[in-house]
């Protein structure tokens, strides 16, 4: 006898069915009832990457957001209203990310959405946020916003974009490491930003690109790509987000041995990864971009001390409750700073509720400078209201004794470029 | 780098991939052959093998070799026990109905994957190889451990061949595969055979993962790739045929290795998928599979 679960002949009576529906409806409705009863809050939607390939980042983005919201609420909230943060998991997936935006806008009716990171999710979700006319503040690094590909409702006030990052560092790379560069980058939007803007920036320094090696984002083995690195290469530039970075570094070590070119990488690959892992030995003496130094430096500011304490991160960039739980230090500050930008703009607009969304957008666009402070611990920043993009200082760090030591800090001006779009001319 | 060394590297890489793939896919093939169950959760058993390997080797942090050997024993044992329990609690109760078990194993896939996320976390975790031995060829360096993977896979396959063809357990398995009802009539407890085969299939995936984890990392989403490749291999080789699976795994592993070194990994994936389509059209029962009677 074969019994299929599809033809299960269970006895579902009218009564049990009605009971079930009633219970389900109550369950769905209850959070809404609770929220309505509270009243008088600023509702912020937080679509974090709790699962999927961005989960290491998502976990820390959520922790930082909790810490910042707590701090703001303890200080009296925004315009006397407490912040209510509603977190939804987007699975690091563009489709799910877009659905979550719709849920925030139509069901929760939030005042703003913040915290999206992965560029392919931002690309999909950003357009939808614009259509739904809900303020959408990303913490993503992608250049797509400043290039004009998104809309008036999308902002990036917490972290510098890739184009600015790479053009500010190219002069240092050309001068100190070498002019013939082979780039290894992930084969999607974020990697293409690196490919296009770093190539242009190094050429402007009189350098050249020896080879471009795109890698599919889910790749797990890299030995097969290394023969494509030309022997005249002076610098290997690597940027790869994904769990396979340890394999990449180890196989690079196997392939080159002691006679390696200079290596310059983006810390993105090694966020949430302990540099003292044996597989990463080969990185000793190589260089990394860091937006915000993971290891507290000798000249640590009082603002950095304050921020580390509030988000629960020690001097090595690990969780204070578990030294093996490494933070995504070079990115997660953008969540912190974005929340304080939201606060600043809402206070300027005397924001009371969703009717004043337009005032909030205009206030955001009027911002120009953020001084280095507890609210902006990564450093001072310049905001461009036309491109909706912020600019800050970048750091180049060297791996020494499995720690990162800053060897060069760029100025903000090093990374400035001509605006490519003016969002303020678009309709609100 | 000249063409010769380039090809040499490509073949080495292909063989490593083929080895891991063979061990994983034979597990899937055994389960299908004997039980007629399409195990969609097979990749998650692979992932669990890697995760347990990380956990076990972390208990012996100062002795990577001992930790690895412990992982090689403990991880497959744990995964096998979980598979055995899954069979007894779920698959058996569905009477191994083909459609129902597909849905059930999809469910298992998510249960295992999300449990790994909850208990193990989202980060990729490295496991130290049992030994560090770099082979320096004149043109490039190569990790000696990767050659060990090839050797281990050959030994494992010899073991499986011996088990299936030369032992009483293998005889019971083959009898069940040939005709479940007749086997039962001859007094074979086919339900027991099914449970052990399901556990064995999962253990093979787990062993493959333990072998590969020192050169990859344990990550909760790592099960998808081996699952897809195993299905490709099993379809090309012929569902339920172990020889076919081994031949197809070497074919796919090598073609993937060589094509992705010389051209691009995307092309390699396209070729594998095209091969599947071709086999399904020309020889629907696979290279070595027998047509349904």
What is the average pLDDT score of chain A? Answer: 90
Which of the two residues, A290 and A256, has the higher pLDDT score? A290
Flag whether residue A300 sits within 8 Å of chain B, measured between CB atoms. no
Rounded mean pLDDT of B7-28? 91
CA distance B147 to B152: 9
Read off the pLDDT band of A31 (50, 70, 90).
very low
pLDDT band of A127, cuts 50, 70, 90: very high
Would you say residue A159 has pLDDT above 50?
yes
Kindly determine whether residue B134 and residue A254, on different chains, have CB atoms separated by under 8 Å. Answer: yes
Asked if A63 is an interface residue toward chain B (Cβ–Cβ < 8 A), one would say no
A56 to chain B, any CB pair closer than 8 A? The answer is: yes
A352 vs A228: CA distance, rounded Å: 58
Higher pLDDT, A28 or B135: B135
- Show Cβ contacts of residue B233 under 8 Å, excluding neighbours closer than 6 positions: B21, B22, B25, B245, B248, B249, B252
Q: Is pLDDT above 80 for A29? A: no
Assess whether pLDDT exceeds 90 at residue A15.
no
Q: What is the pTM of this model?
A: 0.81
Judged against a pLDDT cut of 60, whether residue A51 lies above it is answered with yes
Identify which of B56, B48, B41, B71 has the alpha carbon closest to the alpha carbon of residue B198: B41
Query: How many Å apart are CA B109 and CA B114, to the nearest integer?
Result: 9
Question: In Å, how far is B46's CA from the nearest CA of chain A?
Answer: 15
Backbone angles phi, psi at A77, to 5 degrees: 75, -155
Question: Taking 60 as the threshold, does the pLDDT of residue A37 lie above it?
Answer: no
For A40, the 3-state DSSP assignment is coil
CA of A221: which chain B residue's CA is closest? B216
Q: Give the model's pLDDT for residue A25.
A: 54
Nearest residue to A163 via CA among A342, A384, A338, A340: A384
Please say if the pLDDT value at position A424 is more than 90: yes
Q: Chain B residues with CB inside 8 Å of A221's CB?
A: 13, 17, 215-216
Asked whether residue A11 carries a pLDDT value surpassing 70, the answer given is no
Query: For B128, which of A219, A251, A278 is closest by C-beta distance?
Result: A278
CA distances from A42 to A81, A98, A99, A352, A375 (A): 6, 22, 21, 8, 19
Please provide the size of chain B in residues: 293
Q: Do B257 and A226 touch (CB under 8 A)?
A: no
| pLDDT score of A18 | 59
What is the H or E stretch that residue A400 is in?
Answer: strand A395-400
Please, are residues B133 and B151 in contact by the beta-carbon 8 Å criterion?
Answer: no
Task: Give the number of A-B residue pairs with CB atoms closer than 8 Å.
Answer: 96
Over residues B120-174, the pLDDT tens digits come to 888 888 888 888 888 888 888 888 899 999 999 999 999 999 999 899 999 999 8
Report the pLDDT value the prediction gives residue A1, as an integer from 0 to 100. Answer: 42
CA angle A148, A152, A156 (to 5 degrees): 75
Mean pLDDT of A212-225: 84
Chain A, nearest residue to B98 by Cα? A4
Give the number of other Cβ atoms within 10 Å of residue A425's Cβ. 8
Distance CA B202, CA B138 (A): 40
Higher pLDDT pick, A280 / A395: A395
Q: Which residues are bridge partners to B125 per DSSP?
A: B218
Nearest-Cα residue of chain A relative to residue B94:
A3
Check whether B271 has a pLDDT greater than 80. yes
A221-235, B75-89, B173-187, B257-271: range with highest mean pLDDT:
B75-89
**A308: number of CA atoms within 13 Å, CB side?**
24
Please determine, for residue A36, whether its predicted confidence score (pLDDT) is greater than 60.
Answer: no
The pLDDT value recorded for residue B242 is 85
Q: A259 and chain B: CB distance < 8 Å anywhere? A: no
pLDDT tens figures, A311-334? 999 999 999 999 989 999 999 999
Nearest to B216 among A6, A216, A247 (CB): A247
| Strand, coil or helix: A324 | strand
Of chain A, the percentage scoring pLDDT greater than 90 comes to 75
pLDDT value of residue A34: 43
By DSSP bridging, strand A322-326 and strand A369-370 are unpaired
Q: Which residue of B has its CA nearest to A242?
A: B124
Interface residue A226 vs chain B (CB under 8 A)? yes
Say how many Å lie between the first and final Cα of chain A, rounded.
65
Residue A131: strand, helix, or coil:
helix
A411 and chain B: CB distance < 8 Å anywhere? no
**Which tops the pLDDT comparison, A257 or A370?**
A370
Best residue of B208, B209, B214, B217 to probe chain A, by most A CBs closer than 10 Å? B217
Whether the pLDDT of residue A12 is over 50: the answer is yes
Task: Tell me the per-residue pLDDT of A180-194, one tens digit each, with 9 for 90 and over.
Answer: 999 999 888 889 999
Residue B7: the pLDDT is: 85
Measured between CB atoms, does A256 come within 8 Å of chain B?
yes
Report the half-sphere exposure of A162 (CA within 13 A, side-chain side): 27
| B-chain residue closest to A258, CA distance | B141
- pLDDT per residue over B51-71, tens digit each? 999 999 988 888 888 999 999
| pLDDT of A38 | 47
Q: Is ipTM strictly over 0.90?
A: no
Our CA-based measurement puts residue B136 at a distance from the nearest CA of chain A, in whole angstroms, of 8
Beta-carbon contacts of residue A184 (< 8 Å; ≥ 6 apart): A213, A215, A225, A236, A237, A238, A239, A240
For residues A230 and B27, what is the distance between their CA atoms, to the nearest angstrom?
Answer: 41
CA B252 – CA B258 distance, rounded (Å): 10
Distance CA A39, CA A57 (A): 32
In this predicted structure, the answer to whether residue A299 has a pLDDT above a threshold of 70 is: yes
Buried b (16+ CB within 10 A) or exposed e, A210-236: beebbbebebbbbbbbbbebeeebbbb
Taking the CA atoms of A34, A39, A45 and A50 in sequence, report the sign of the dihedral they define. Answer: negative
Among A119-123, A154-158, A279-283, A327-331, the minimum mean pLDDT is found in A279-283
Q: Do B122 and A246 touch (CB under 8 A)?
A: no
- Distance from C-alpha of A378 to C-alpha of A371, rounded to nearest angstrom: 10
User: A400-411 pLDDT, tens per residue?
Assistant: 999 999 999 999
Those residues whose C-beta lies under 8 Å from the C-beta of residue A55, and which sit 6 or more positions away, are A49, A92, B117, B122
Confidence at A399, pLDDT banded by 50, 70, 90: very high
State the pLDDT at residue A376: 97
Give CA separation, B146 vs B44, B65, B151, B229, B278, in Å. Answer: 23, 15, 9, 19, 32
Q: Chain B residues with CB inside 8 Å of A255's CB?
A: 140-142
Instruction: Give the nearest chain A residue to B11 (CA atoms).
Output: A224
| The pLDDT of residue A310 is above 50 | yes
A233-258 mean pLDDT: 86
pLDDT at A17: 57
Section A281-309 average pLDDT = 95
Interchain CB distance below 8 Å, A227 and B217:
no
pLDDT per position as a tens digit, A343-368: 999 999 999 999 999 999 999 999 99
Percent of chain A at pLDDT above 70?
90
């Amino acid at each position: 006898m074969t019994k299929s679960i599809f033809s299960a002949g269970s006895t579902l009576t009218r009564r049990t069915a009605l009971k079930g529906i009633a219970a389900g409806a109550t369950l769905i409705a209850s959070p809404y009832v609770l929220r309505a009863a509270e009243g008088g809050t600023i509702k912020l939607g937080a679509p974090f990457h709790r699962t999927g390939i961005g989960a290491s980042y998502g976990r820390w983005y959520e922790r930082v957001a909790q810490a910042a919201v707590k701090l703001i609420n303890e200080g009296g909230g925004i315009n006397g209203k407490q912040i209510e943060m509603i977190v939804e998991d987007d699975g690091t997936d563009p489709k799910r990310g877009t659905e979550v935006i719709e849920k925030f806008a139509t069901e929760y009716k939030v005042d703003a959405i913040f915290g999206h990171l992965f560029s392919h999710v931002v690309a999909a979700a950003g357009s939808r946020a614009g259509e739904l006319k809900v303020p959408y503040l990303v913490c993503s690094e992608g250049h797509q916003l400043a290039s004009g590909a998104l809309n008036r409702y999308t902002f990036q006030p917490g972290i510098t974009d890739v184009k600015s990052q790479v053009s500010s560092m190219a002069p240092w790379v050309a001068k100190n490491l070498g002019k013939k560069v082979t780039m290894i980058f992930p084969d999607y939007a974020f990697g293409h930003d690196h490919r296009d803007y770093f190539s242009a920036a190094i050429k402007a320094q009189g350098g050249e690109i020896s080879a471009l090696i795109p890698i599919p984002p889910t790749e797990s083995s890299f030995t097969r790509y290394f023969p494509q690195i030309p022997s005249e290469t002076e610098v290997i530039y690597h940027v790869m987000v994904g769990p396979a970075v340890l394999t990449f570094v180890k196989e690079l070590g196997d392939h080159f041995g002691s006679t390696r070119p200079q290596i310059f990488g983006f810390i993105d690959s090694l966020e949430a990864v302990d540099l003292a892992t044996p597989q990463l030995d080969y990185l000793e003496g190589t260089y990394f971009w860091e937006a915000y130094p993971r290891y507290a430096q000798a000249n640590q500011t009082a603002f950095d001390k304050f921020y580390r304490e509030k988000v629960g991160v020690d001097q090595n960039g690990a969780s204070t409750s578990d030294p093996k739980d490494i933070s995504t230090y070079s990115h997660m500050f953008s969540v912190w700073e974005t929340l304080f930008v939201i606060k600043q703009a809402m206070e300027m607009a005397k924001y009371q509720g969703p009717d004043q969304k337009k005032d909030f957008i205009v206030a955001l666009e009027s911002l120009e400078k953020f001084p280095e402070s507890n609210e902006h611990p990564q450093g001072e920043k310049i905001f461009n209201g036309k491109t909706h993009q912020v600019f800050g200082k970048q750091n180049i760090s060297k791996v020494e004794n499995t720690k990162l030591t800053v060897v060069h800090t760029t100025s903000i001006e090093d990374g400035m470029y001509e605006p490519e779009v003016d969002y303020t001319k678009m309709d609100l | 780098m000249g063409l010769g060394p380039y090809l040499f590297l490509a073949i080495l890489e292909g063989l490593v991939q083929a080895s891991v793939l063979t061990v994983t896919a034979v597990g899937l093939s055994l389960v299908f052959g004997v039980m007629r169950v399409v195990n969609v959760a097979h990749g998650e058993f692979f992932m669990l093998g890697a995760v347990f390997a990380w956990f076990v080797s972390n208990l012996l942090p100062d002795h990577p070799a001992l930790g690895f050997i412990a992982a090689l024993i403990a991880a497959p044992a744990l995964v096998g026990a979980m598979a055995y329990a899954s069979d007894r609690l779920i698959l058996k109760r569905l009477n191994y109905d083909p459609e129902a078990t597909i849905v059930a194993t999809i469910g298992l896939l998510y249960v295992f994957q999300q449990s790994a996320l909850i208990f193990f976390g989202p980060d990729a975790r490295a496991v130290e190889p049992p030994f560090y031995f770099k082979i320096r060829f004149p043109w490039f360096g190569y990790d000696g451990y990767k050659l060990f993977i090839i050797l281990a896979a050959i030994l494992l396959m010899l073991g499986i061949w011996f088990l299936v063809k030369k032992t009483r357990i293998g005889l019971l398995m083959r009898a069940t595969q040939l005709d479940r009802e007749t086997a039962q009539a001859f007094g074979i407890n086919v339900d027991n055979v099914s449970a052990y085969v399901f556990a064995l299939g999962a253990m093979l995936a787990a062993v493959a993962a333990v072998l590969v984890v020192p050169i990859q990392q344990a990550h909760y989403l790592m099960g998808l790739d081996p699952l897809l490749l195993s299905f490709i291999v099993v379809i090309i080789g012929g569902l339920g045929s172990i020889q076919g699976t081994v031949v197809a795994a070497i074919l796919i592993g090598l073609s993937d290795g060589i094509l992705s070194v010389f051209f691009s990994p995307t092309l390699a994936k396209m070729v594998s998928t095209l091969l599947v389509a071709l086999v399904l059209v020309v020889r629907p029962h696979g290279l070595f599979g027998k047509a349904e009677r």
